[in-house]
């Protein structure tokens, strides 16, 4: 079927004259914006946080994975800029939405960011514009929520006058081998024409684009990926609890199982789930299923086990202190690493926050060392804290050192040597930890 608007837009995308905007310039949006800019598009980031947009326009990156030199080069070349003003969208041809999708305190999806970004975009929607939602969300969001917000009021028809698609982001912050550019990108449109345009756009900048038949397939694919991880992490976390009761070394069991060359994938236990994706996205799916009178049992169970892990670790800390004849109350406990995973500066949903809360509740004197996170802002049950600076002195002074995040920068042999007692939740000390009688492993 001929579609002049689609063909004109595709041509602009192919010759890179299409103007691109990224709404929401965080961990996902900034790297995506740089990838589009590197591909030759003129890219404008739109974010309400003025400090971020000012930093960007000065050529400074505020995301660890994106080097400032790259941002500075792209800004200088006129390929990248930032603004807090949505009005720029009236001049844009292609818009990607990368805003947060957290949970409410009740555990229900919080779609307010998508809703407000869409509402701010709607007045500037025009013929020949493609919009792609990237935020992780439950199947149906793009069609049931974003589409009515965009087209009801202005009478433009999707698939003919403007184009709407969903493309989940898979970026794994801190990772060097798989980046925004070379990780295959799934794209599904509301209509065939929407898929044509969105696929064409992303193919200009990303190495591999995987086209699927609908926005719902693209939305659900993301949730399958993260649910798969969450359930397998829940399984090994329960394995750790079972091995503890059995007196079997869980790490040795997992390493032994991982020698099977097929049919097994290695996951490792830890102090709980963290980050903006794995603990949250599957709950978007279970919430949606509840609205259809179906209980997503695997998700609920894995979530229950994963959220119980900080309490399990508290039990190990209590045992470790007990071995020294000390109660938790009044003991000095130093957490090493508070980021939710190694070598990144992201604290969101980190199990370290639960541990800090649980330990303080029991009267411990808690401090932490994390070179990636110098400060913890007060939030809910958590009071403001600063990372200690002289980690050697603190390790020596602590009654118990807890390795929560296995950052590469930590000097593990020194930690083992200087400490009185270590609870190693990540097997960061490896064989040396296994052999030492001052180390309690998960």
Ligand X SMILES: NC(=O)c1ccc[n+]([C@@H]2O[C@H](COP(=O)([O-])OP(=O)(O)OC[C@H]3O[C@@H](n4cnc5c(N)ncnc54)[C@H](O)[C@@H]3O)[C@@H](O)[C@H]2O)c1
What are the backbone dihedrals phi and psi of residue 183, each rounded to the nearest 5 degrees, phi first?
Answer: -80, 125
Sheet containing 129-133, strands listed edge to edge, beginning at the edge strand earlier in sequence = 80-83, 42-46, 19-23, 94-97, 129-133, 162-166, 185-189, 209-212
Looking up tokens 């004197």 gives 365
Residue 33 sits in the site that holds ligand X (CB under 6 A): no
Residues 271-310, interacting with ligand X (CB under 6 A): 276-277
Spatial separation of the C-alpha atoms in residues 404 and 427, rounded to whole Å? 10
Alpha helices in 187-249 (DSSP H): 192-205, 215-246
Residue 113 sits in the site that holds ligand X (CB under 6 A): yes
Task: Figure out which of the listed residues 18, 37, 100, 283 binds ligand X, where binding follows CB under 6 A.
Answer: 100
Please give the full DSSP string across 349-364, using - where no structure is assigned.
T-HHHHHHHHHHHTT-
Stretch that binds ligand X, among 110-118, 177-185, 288-296, 425-433 (CB under 6 A): 110-118
To ligand X, the closest distance from the beta carbon of 307 in angstroms equals 18
**How many residues of this chain interact with ligand X, rule: CB under 6 A?**
29
Q: Are 89 and 78 a contacting pair, CB within 8 Å?
A: no
Spatial separation of the C-alpha atoms in residues 425 and 270, rounded to whole Å? 6
Q: Which one is catalytic: 200, 243, 277, 400?
A: 277
Residue 117 sits in the site that holds ligand X (CB under 6 A): yes
Residue whose CB is less far from ligand X, 3 or 286:
286
Stretch that binds ligand X, among 6-14, 47-55, 249-257, 380-388 (CB under 6 A): 47-55
Residue whose CB is less far from ligand X, 50 or 257:
50
Residue 125 sits in the site that holds ligand X (CB under 6 A): no
Q: Are 49 and 7 a contacting pair, CB within 8 Å?
A: no
Stretch that binds ligand X, among 113-121, 247-255, 300-308, 413-421 (CB under 6 A): 113-121
Looking up tokens 């844009």 gives 92
To ligand X, the closest distance from the beta carbon of 367 in angstroms equals 27
Residue whose CB is less far from ligand X, 53 or 321:
53
To ligand X, the closest distance from the beta carbon of 49 in angstroms equals 4
The pairing of strands 42-46 and 19-23 is parallel
Structure tokens at 286: 């279970």
Residue whose CB is less far from ligand X, 3 or 136:
136
Residue 49 sits in the site that holds ligand X (CB under 6 A): yes
Residues 160-189, interacting with ligand X (CB under 6 A): 169-171, 173
277 is catalytic: yes
Residue 23 sits in the site that holds ligand X (CB under 6 A): yes
Spatial separation of the C-alpha atoms in residues 121 and 125, rounded to whole Å? 6
Spatial separation of the C-alpha atoms in residues 193 and 188, rounded to whole Å? 10
Residue whose CB is less far from ligand X, 49 or 385:
49
Residue 46 sits in the site that holds ligand X (CB under 6 A): yes
Task: Figure out which of the listed residues 96, 135, 268, 387 binds ligand X, where binding follows CB under 6 A.
Answer: 135
Residue whose CB is less far from ligand X, 56 or 404:
56
Task: Figure out which of the listed residues 6, 9, 12, 29 binds ligand X, where binding follows CB under 6 A.
Answer: 29
Spatial separation of the C-alpha atoms in residues 179 and 66, rounded to whole Å? 11
User: Which residue from 179, 180, 122 is spatially nearest to 148, judged by alpha carbons?
Assistant: 122
* Residue 12: C-alpha distances to residues 27, 42, 415 (Å): 28, 12, 57
What stretch of H or E contains 209?
A: strand 209-212
Task: Figure out which of the listed residues 34, 101, 151, 237 binds ligand X, where binding follows CB under 6 A.
Answer: 101
Task: Figure out which of the listed residues 12, 13, 22, 24 binds ligand X, where binding follows CB under 6 A.
Answer: 24
Residues 400-419, interacting with ligand X (CB under 6 A): none
Task: Figure out which of the listed residues 9, 99, 147, 415 binds ligand X, where binding follows CB under 6 A.
Answer: 99
Looking up tokens 């709607």 gives 122
3-state SS assignment for residue 437: coil
Question: Largest alpha-carbon pair distance within the chain?
Answer: 80
Residues with active-site annotation: 277
- The contact set with ligand X (CB under 6 A) reads 23-29, 46-49, 52, 98-101, 113, 116-117, 120, 134-136, 169-171, 173, 276-277
């Amino acid at each position: 079927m001929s579609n002049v608007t689609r063909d004109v837009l595709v041509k602009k995308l192919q010759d890179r004259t299409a103007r691109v905007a990224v709404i929401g310039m965080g961990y996902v949006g900034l790297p995506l914006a740089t990838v589009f800019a590197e591909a030759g598009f003129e890219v404008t980031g739109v974010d309400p946080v003025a400090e971020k947009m000012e930093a960007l326009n000065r050529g400074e990156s505020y995301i660890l994975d994106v080097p400032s030199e790259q941002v500075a080069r792209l800004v200088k070349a006129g390929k990248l800029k930032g603004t807090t003003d949505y009005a720029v969208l009236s001049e844009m041809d292609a818009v990607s939405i990368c805003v947060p999708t957290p949970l409410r305190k009740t555990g229900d999806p919080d779609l307010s960011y998508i809703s407000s970004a869409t509402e701010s975009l709607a007045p500037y929607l025009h013929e020949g514009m493609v919009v792609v939602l990237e935020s992780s969300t439950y199947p149906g969001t793009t069609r049931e929520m974003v589409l009515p917000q965009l087209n009801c009021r202005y009478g433009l028809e999707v698939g003919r006058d403007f184009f709407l698609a969903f493309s989940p982001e898979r970026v794994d912050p801190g990772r060097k081998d798989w980046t925004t550019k070379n990780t295959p990108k799934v794209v599904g449109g509301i209509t065939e024409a929407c898929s044509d345009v969105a696929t064409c756009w992303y193919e200009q900048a990303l190495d591999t684009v995987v086209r699927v038949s609908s926005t719902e397939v693209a939305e659900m694919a993301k949730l399958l990926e993260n649910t798969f991880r969450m359930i397998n992490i829940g399984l090994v976390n329960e394995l750790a609890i079972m091995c503890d009761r059995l007196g079997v070394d869980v790490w040795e069991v997992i390493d032994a199982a991982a020698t099977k060359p097929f049919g097994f994938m290695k996951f490792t236990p830890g102090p709980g789930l963290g980050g903006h994706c794995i603990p949250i996205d599957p709950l978007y799916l279970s919430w949606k299923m509840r609205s259809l009178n179906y209980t997503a049992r695997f998700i609920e169970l894995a979530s229950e086990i994963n959220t119980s892990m900080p309490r399990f670790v508290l039990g190990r800390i209590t045992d470790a202190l007990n071995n020294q004849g000390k109660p938790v109350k009044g003991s000095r406990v130093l957490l090493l690493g508070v980021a939710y995973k190694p070598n990144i500066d992201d604290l969101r949903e980190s199990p370290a926050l639960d541990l800090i809360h649980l330990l303080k509740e029991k009267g411990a004197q808690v401090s932490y060392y994390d070179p990636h996170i110098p400060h913890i802002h007060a939030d809910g049950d958590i009071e403001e804290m600063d990372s200690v600076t002289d980690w050697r002195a603190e390790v020596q002074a602590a009654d118990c050192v807890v390795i929560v995040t296995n950052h590469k920068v930590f000097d593990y042999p020194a930690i083992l040597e200087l400490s009185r007692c270590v609870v190693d939740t990540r097997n960061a000390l490896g064989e040396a930890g296994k052999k030492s009688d001052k180390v309690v492993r998960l």
